[in-house]
């Protein structure tokens, strides 16, 4: 929001176009890997995860316009805090549940 221009939104087309091109590439590759069965399961899962993380960052930057210059600091802190909570809850749940699973099976 730029008070001097008087208009509450300043948006240009360029980031959205870069974003969609990157997003399409980052989507097409994992779909292609699954469609053609090009890799072993374990490797494919890792590649899919890596592409997903990169694509999330692309979406955050080019669609949601998150960056370290113009995004208010509180928004970044909230985002970082959410990431920590997500990591603890997803990581913790999987850890506990699969540990339990293996103890029950053995």
Looking at residues 8 to 27 of the shown chain, list those that interact with other proteins (rule: CB under 8 A).
8-13, 15-17, 19-20, 23-24, 27
Is position 29 an interface residue for other proteins (rule: CB under 8 A)?
no
For other proteins, the binding residue among 25, 34, 67, 102 (CB under 8 A) is 34
Q: What is the DSSP string of the chain?
A: --TTT--S----SHHHHHHHHHHHHHHHHHHHHHHHT-S-HHHHHHHHHHHHHHHHHHIIIIIS---TTTS-HHHHHHHHHHHHHHHHHHHHHHHHHHHHHHHHH-
Is position 7 an interface residue for other proteins (rule: CB under 8 A)?
yes
CB of 92 to other proteins, least distance (A): 8
Q: Residue 28 has which token pair?
A: 């097409």
Residues that bind other proteins (CB under 8 A): 1-3, 6-13, 15-17, 19-20, 23-24, 27, 30-31, 33-35, 41, 44-45, 48-49, 51-52, 55-56, 59-60, 63-64, 72, 74-75, 78-79, 81-82, 85-86, 89-90, 93-94, 97-98
């Amino acid at each position: 929001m730029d008070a001097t221009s008087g208009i509450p939104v300043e948006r240009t087309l360029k980031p959205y176009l870069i974003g969609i091109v990157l997003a399409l590439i980052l989507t097409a590759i994992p779909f292609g890997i699954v469609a053609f069965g090009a890799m072993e399961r374990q490797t494919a899962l890792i590649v899919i995860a890596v592409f997903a993380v990169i694509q999330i960052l692309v979406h955050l930057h080019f669609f949601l316009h998150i960056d370290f210059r113009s995004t208010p600091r509180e928004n970044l802190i909230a985002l970082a805090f959410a990431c920590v909570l997500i990591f603890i809850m997803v990581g913790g749940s999987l850890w506990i549940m699969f540990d339990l699973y293996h103890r029950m099976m053995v």
